[in-house]
C-alpha cells in the first residue's frame, strides 16, 4: 500500500518535472530566436552607422563644419557617438564574407 502511494507520488513528480522542462525549453527557444533577430538587426545597424561615419569623415575632411556653432557641435557629437559604437561593437570581418 505505501509503495503504491510512494510510486504514485514519484510518477506525479516526474510528470510535473517533464511539463516544467518542456515549458522552459519552449521559452528558451523563443528567447534564442529573439536574440538571433536582434543580433542580425544590430549587425545591419552597425553597417549603416559605418556608412554614415564614412560619409561624415568625407564631409569633415573638407572642414565644412566648425565646432564653434550649433551645427558643428551636433556634427562632432554624432561623430563621437559613432566612434563609441565602433569601439564597443567592432565590425567582425570574415575573410570569405567581407561584403554582405
DSSP string, 5-37: HHHHHHHHHHHHHHHHHHHHHHHHHHHHHHHHH
* Domain coordinates in residue numbering, the chain: 2-88
Q: For a pLDDT cut of 90, what percent of the chain falls above it?
A: 35
Integer distance in angstroms from the first to the last C-alpha of the chain?
Answer: 68
What pLDDT, on a 0 to 100 scale, did the predictor assign at position 80? 86
The string of pLDDT tens digits covering residues 4-39 is 999 999 999 999 999 999 999 999 999 999 999 998
The predicted model gives 61-82 an average pLDDT of 75
Give the residue among 94, 88, 81 at the shortest CA–CA distance from 49: 81
For 2, 22, 26, 90, 99, the CA distances from 15, given in Å and listed in that order, are: 20, 11, 17, 47, 50
pTM higher than 0.85 = no
In the predicted model, what is the mean pLDDT of the chain?
Answer: 82
Amino acid at each position: 500500500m505505501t509503495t503504491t502511494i510512494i510510486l504514485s507520488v514519484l510518477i506525479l513528480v516526474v510528470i510535473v518535472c517533464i511539463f516544467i522542462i518542456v515549458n522552459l525549453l519552449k521559452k528558451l527557444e523563443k528567447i534564442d530566436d529573439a536574440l538571433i533577430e536582434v543580433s542580425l538587426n544590430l549587425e545591419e545597424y552597425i553597417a549603416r552607422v559605418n556608412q554614415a561615419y564614412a560619409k561624415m569623415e568625407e564631409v569633415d575632411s573638407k572642414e565644412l563644419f566648425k565646432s564653434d556653432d550649433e551645427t558643428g557641435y551636433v556634427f562632432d557629437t554624432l561623430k563621437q557617438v559613432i566612434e563609441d559604437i565602433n569601439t564597443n561593437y567592432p565590425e567582425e570581418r570574415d575573410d570569405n564574407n567581407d561584403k554582405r
